[in-house]
Amino acid sequence: MASMRDIKRRRESIQSTEQITKAMMLVATVKLQKARQKAEASRPYTNALYRTVGEILRRTDETAHKYLKHPGEGKKAVILITGNRGLAGGYNMNAVRMVLDGPFDRENTVIYTIGRKGQEMLRARGYECRDDWSEVVNAPLYKDAISITQTVLDRFEASEISEIWLVYTEFKNTVVHVPKCQRMIPVAPEDEHVAAAMEEEREDVLPMNYEPNDEEVLNRLIPQYMASVLYGALLQAVASENGARMTAMDNATDNAEEMIEKLGLQYNRARQGSITQELTEIIAGRNAVT
């Protein structure tokens, strides 16, 4: 049986760990609230965007457009949104797993990471990771989404890559976060949001007119669409990260409490044991003398 001193020391160490996890949980809770507000405020925009773009594409037969036509052979680019820090349960790993299990082989994939954790994990697995915007995760701005989109689209224009995918974690509610993998370019009607918009109101399909002309409009519209999708994804990912961290730290605090309680019992038992032993020894000693 462990000595009283060992048990006491162990209990103290767990107590200080509990203080840390508790503090982390509180911080994550506050951050989650902020992030969730932002994510929810941006949702009408993102939904309207999906619907509008879906509707525009439904009325368009411009399938030969460079952003819409089916890709040739070439590298795939993946924009991966993860956190900069760990201790958030499975949050980072689940997003990374979407890449590992997705249709991306090591030779033909370029990864653009937003968030350091994803970059570290994919580098270690031999993927090619280019530019890194880890700072963005701390406080995503619409401006960041525009500049990231621009950088990746420039590579697309230069024919270095033929497809652009986005991997992020969708925020359903505080405890449910779903990692998502979706293709941004070519804009795919099989994209569930766009497809849902296309399903609706099929009967009143008016042909769409464009001002100045359809090619020009799509040239401008699609990058804006991408930037907005990315911005929405960033906000959701940040909310998910804090939600995941909050849950993980809440569990850690609970576990610590449970262990402290158990060790407290053990400690008391050990103390009682040593008292009993001492008494037995004194009585035995006295018996021997008399």
Partner 1 sequence: MASTFHLTIITPERTFFEGDVSFSEFTTEEGRVGIYPGHEALTLMLAPGVLLIRSGNEDRKAAMHKGFAEILPDRVTVLAQIAEWPEEIDRNRAEEDRIKAERALQEDGSSAKDEIRLRRAIARIEASKG
Give whichever of 144 and 241 is closer to partner 1, judged by the CB atom.
144
Provide, rounded to whole angstroms, the least separation between the CB of residue 38 and partner 1.
Answer: 8
- The residues near 235 (Cβ < 8 Å, ≥ 6 apart) are 35, 38, 39, 42, 140
Provide, rounded to whole angstroms, the least separation between the CB of residue 237 and partner 1.
Answer: 15
Provide, rounded to whole angstroms, the least separation between the CB of residue 18 and partner 1.
Answer: 39
The torsion angle over the Cα atoms of residues 84, 90, 96 and 100, rounded to 10 degrees, is 160
Q: How far apart are CA 230 and CA 245, in angstroms?
A: 22
Give whichever of 73 and 211 is closer to partner 1, judged by the CB atom.
211
Give whichever of 160 and 216 is closer to partner 1, judged by the CB atom.
216
Provide, rounded to whole angstroms, the least separation between the CB of residue 221 and partner 1.
Answer: 6
Give whichever of 126 and 207 is closer to partner 1, judged by the CB atom.
207
Q: Using an 8 Å Cβ cutoff, are 95 and 167 in contact?
A: yes
Give whichever of 42 and 113 is closer to partner 1, judged by the CB atom.
42
Backbone angles phi, psi at 207, to 5 degrees: -70, 140
Provide, rounded to whole angstroms, the least separation between the CB of residue 94 and partner 1.
Answer: 26
Query: Across the beta sheet with 161-171, what order do the strands follow?
Result: 128-132, 109-114, 75-81, 161-171, 177-185
Q: Which of 233, 245, 280 is nearest to 22 (CA)?
A: 245
Q: How far apart are CA 254 and CA 262, in angstroms?
A: 12
Give whichever of 206 and 289 is closer to partner 1, judged by the CB atom.
206
Rg over alpha carbons for the chain, rounded to the nearest Å, is: 28
Provide, rounded to whole angstroms, the least separation between the CB of residue 56 and partner 1.
Answer: 6
Q: Say which DSSP state 107 is in.
A: G
One-letter identity of residue 205 = V
Q: Using an 8 Å Cβ cutoff, are 98 and 246 in contact?
A: no
Q: Sign of dihedral through CA atoms 82, 83, 86, 90?
A: negative
Give whichever of 5 and 220 is closer to partner 1, judged by the CB atom.
220
Provide, rounded to whole angstroms, the least separation between the CB of residue 40 and partner 1.
Answer: 11
- The residues near 27 (Cβ < 8 Å, ≥ 6 apart) are none
Give whichever of 14 and 136 is closer to partner 1, judged by the CB atom.
136
Provide, rounded to whole angstroms, the least separation between the CB of residue 49 and partner 1.
Answer: 6
Cα 133 to its chain centre, rounded Å, is 15
- The residues near 261 (Cβ < 8 Å, ≥ 6 apart) are none
Interface positions with partner 1 (CB under 8 A): 41-42, 44-45, 48-49, 51-52, 55-56, 59, 142, 206-212, 216-217, 220-221, 224, 228, 231-232
